[in-house]
Structure 1
């Protein structure tokens, strides 16, 4: 299994419960596809470097997980169609 890091930015106009539900949804998708979530950090609301979809702030979340390429592909597919995700990036970390 490979080590991956996922960073995603959630819209800030959502309620706190909806934000938590979205974070849990992403975590559940990773775990049901066979990944092991090693770390989940919620950075909170931060100002964006540039405006995205008329939004100046976003809620940042970083998730590290171990899994196969299929897990990263499934997360990519789901995050691409989720409208409350402003941006995301999945990066495979180098093996040490």
Structure 2
């Protein structure tokens, strides 16, 4: 799978995990040069507290377009530190 934003591959892996129709990419599969830590957090009742990244690609920014769970509930242990996307990021095979 590939995550693409602004015509650039920002993550690529054959080992994504699908949860609630989102592909979660292993943390080591993201191209870290495009990611900036964000202070945004949200809470999922069964996964835990999500942390966010903003993307910066070719001079454009996509605020809080990626999220991950550094600590998870027992039910979500398969996606600990895996990264998922929204806000116009395309995930394709």
TM-score, normalised on structure 2? 0.29
Q: Which has the higher contact order (CA 8 A, sep 6+)?
A: 1
TM-score, normalised on structure 1? 0.29
Q: Which has the larger radius of gyration?
A: 1
The structure where helix makes up a greater share of residues is 1
